[in-house]
Amino acid sequence: MDTRIGFGWDSHTFKAGVPLRIGGMTLQHPEGLAGHSDGDVLLHAITDALLGSIAAGDIGTFFPPGDARWKDADSAIFLKLALEELKHAGYQIVNIDTTLILAAPKISPIAGEMRSRVAELLHVDMDQVSIKAKTPEGLGLDHVAQCHAIALVERALDDEDLKSMSAIVESQRQLEDVVDDLLSSVHGLPKKRVAPVYDTEDIT
């Protein structure tokens, strides 16, 4: 299976007077994150990780910070674009691993809810999304939120791929039958018998 890895990173300073948006959720906190859009550091990092996995540039390539259309925009829009690019390239998400770095608010009490929301936005199962949080001890970054994200993606199988795989499996079975016949004739070995899944005599 063809797999690729993408890495994303983002940071925003805290700013009074704006809502705090992280992971597609609005959190209760005196300050939000400054940014041209809604400043969702987690979704921005995941977006860059997905785009990076298929070498499609970064978030600024598609949504320049100087473009007025993206002023205060919901970062879910950026994530949706990354998913479309991923699909167009023929890949799908295996899993996402992220680490938030911020002094406050505490993420652990709401990590489960946040994972569920991000999984919903990514159209994947919750167990494919990991969200961890650390404090920036000793870094002098208490007024900044950062996020690191890694995305593992794999090439998606379409109907033609599935048909090809079925043909390969069938060819392999035929080859095994031929080898079995040869061994039986040369060495006088009994042919292998595949046991049925159920007893056919019990079928009524």
Residues 152-201 pLDDT 10s:
999 997 756 555 555 655 666 666 666 666 666 666 666 655 555 445 45
Indicate whether 148 and 164 sit together in one domain: no
Rounded CA-CA distance 105/126 in Å is: 22
Indicate whether 116 and 167 sit together in one domain: no
Indicate whether 84 and 174 sit together in one domain: no
42 class by beta-carbon count within 10 Å (0-12 exposed, 13-18 middle, 19+ buried): buried
* Single pTM value for the model: 0.77
Residue 185 confidence (pLDDT): 67
Residue at token pair 């404090």:
135
Domain range enclosing 129: 3-155
Indicate whether 43 and 106 sit together in one domain: yes
Indicate whether 108 and 131 sit together in one domain: yes
- Phi first, then psi, for residue 144 (nearest 5°) are -130, 145
The list of the chain residues with pLDDT below 70 reads 1, 159-204
Indicate whether 129 and 197 sit together in one domain: no
Residue 127 confidence (pLDDT): 97
Indicate whether 151 and 195 sit together in one domain: no
Side chain identity at residue 164, one-letter code: S
Residue 1 confidence (pLDDT): 61
86 class by beta-carbon count within 10 Å (0-12 exposed, 13-18 middle, 19+ buried): buried
Residue 8 confidence (pLDDT): 98
- Phi first, then psi, for residue 155 (nearest 5°) are -65, 130
Indicate whether 47 and 116 sit together in one domain: yes
The angle that helices 76-88 and 41-53 make with each other, rounded to 10 degrees, is 10
Indicate whether 9 and 102 sit together in one domain: yes
Residue 129 confidence (pLDDT): 98
What's the structural domain count of the chain?
Answer: 2
The CATH number that applies at residue 72 is 3.30.1330.50
Indicate whether 163 and 148 sit together in one domain: no
- DSSP code, position 195: P
Rounded CA-CA distance 101/145 in Å is: 6
